[in-house]
A and B are shown apart, each in its own frame.
Chain A
């Protein structure tokens, strides 16, 4: 694949269809811009590289899916954006994370603390453990309003009640006085979403928000997030290992593997013509309702734990399309040229379909169920 794939035309960015008025600002500068983010965990023998140089943007009103297996670095990326690592120096973040024009990896902690909860919020995977077991949920919501807005207790609780109402928790008044364990998992997650949305943040990171929930509840919670995002125009980074979850909600998908982005593109494009063998594999291991008697195809092997500087493509050992260059050179993200746009200011992946692969899957060879063998 040569440079010719990278057609340079006018600076048209393919941005998500958003009718939110605030989304216009995002056209020029994205709300969140992660540039060459690297995260290393100090271990006894050297450092474990959890994130190895990840670059992506999210604009207001946009929902980006960050997809990958466990251990691919998705959650670590989200913690780095919120700067929620322990401050004892055991975790090192490098690169830049621009949020609304400031590099949040370098601002002082008090300023960062004011951003958290107010401008950027996060919903974690397990609502049961995310809620303080010995504090009534009312206070857990209200304290956000009291600390950030300086509201009095009474006002804060009134607003908390309205927030619970908004996320669909029944009997709101009584619920304020309850403890986390008195709610079902779905209700607990609604409560953490109410906490995240309390101050109408501009960025919501949803880190596997439905993984710990029943399938029937999953859809409700996802709908709630979509609904709130559409109404407020906040940007959402949806982290999931489930491409199916990402498909229904996101405008763009970024696929992570071993701390690297391996494919970025519009959701439709990723599903219609996945180019990276890993993405193809992920799609192949996805159960579908509309194809019967299709065998699910797992990807053989396990994702690697990166200790050394990555050499070659990290997916190569598990890849069926491996060629000789794969084990020596780490592929960079390149445009596949389907949706044409010029990469600007060294941040190439706001547009078009980008793949980091020496031997990408050709477009015509990627049916919807690429690795599954249809038998009828």
Chain B
């Protein structure tokens, strides 16, 4: 297993290298001149030239790429054109909020999607199954930004039970930064009113982000459960006189979940992509919002930095999923070679 993980990490470096080339090319080939944007609307050509030289934008692309990659090896992600700060610092500041949001969405996906799917599979073709099907297909079809706004209208504007956006109420004191995740930090600091406030702020964006994934995971685990319940070993478990609860919970569920776990791994990528829209709708101060601003301003370094960070997280998440998969299904072994 250790050798397998090592090999996967090496492969990951290759994937990231290829991906950095692609993103670099895409961002730089998009028409427009970031130096002009930065210098401002009424800047003279000389002023624009200053910016162009400062960020090496006059150099040929391969040279620019090489400079970027050598910088990466020392942890230098370049300097953001908009914030005028090192991108590494920006990421350090914005990533925890996104991590918090994505993690919360992942938890929602698992705790809502898996039980709903498993129960639908168990009671297939019942009213419960039909209603979860309708809801989950609708959930998968709904664009996240639209769902987000509808939820804001209902829970903030109409019912007034949940905040409209941001991580905390303006009047709430931010907890001391430990992890950067407000919910965790407030809990660690023992500030329970802040914790409650942070949690309330998290609900709508996390649910909006999770909606599509919940739908997919529900459908997948429903199918897995239905298929598993028709297998010979389930019939065998019943033939052994096992109580139905044990047949479903101990025999069917673990086998049905193995395929669901793979879907969850792929979902991580979708969640990060979703943060771009969801963070914009809920003014959530994470890397999604940072990236959207960066894209608007052609902030090459910022876009590259966010993309790389997401790619690394995605690769690691799927590695973790594959390891979990092997732990859940003893038939899967990973050869070290």
A contacts, CB < 8 Å to B: 82, 84, 88, 113-118, 121-122, 124, 126, 129-135, 143-144, 147-148, 179, 181, 192, 195
Contact = CB atoms under 8 A, between A and B. Distances in A.
A130 B255 contact: no
A118 B241 contact: yes
Contact of A134 (B125, B236, B242, B258): B258
A132 B252 CA distance: 9
B258 A116 contact: no
Task: Identify whether the interface residues of B are mostly helix, strand, loop, or mixed.
Answer: helix
B330 A179 contact: yes
A130 B232 contact: yes
Contacts of B254: 134-135
B241 A116 contact: yes
B239 A129 contact: no
A131 B234 CA distance: 9
B235 A84 contact: yes
* Chain A to chain B: the 3 pairs with minimum beta-carbon distance, closest first: A117-B241, A116-B241, A129-B232
A133 B240 contact: no
B329 A192 contact: no
B331 A133 contact: yes
Contacts of A181: 330-331
- The residue among A132, A135, A195 with the most chain B CB atoms within 10 A of its own CB is A132
A130 B236 contact: yes
A143 B249 CA distance: 14
Interface of B: 125, 231-233, 235-243, 246, 250-251, 254-255, 258, 328-331
B255 A114 contact: no
B233 A116 contact: no
25 contacts: A82-B239, A84-B238, A88-B125, A113-B241, A113-B243, A116-B241, A121-B239, A121-B240, A122-B239, A124-B235, A124-B239, A130-B233, A132-B255, A133-B255, A133-B331, A134-B254, A134-B328, A134-B329, A144-B241, A147-B240, A147-B242, A148-B241, A179-B330, A179-B331, A181-B331
Nearest to B257: A134
A131 B236 contact: yes
A82 B231 CA distance: 17
A99 B200 CA distance: 61
A124 B232 CA distance: 8
B119 to A, nearest CB: 15
Contacts of A134: 254-255, 258, 328-330
Contacts of A135: 250-251, 254
A129 B233 contact: yes
Nearest to A141: B240
Given A124-B232, A132-B233, A134-B254, A143 B240 contact: yes
Nearest to B255: A134
Contacts of A115: 241
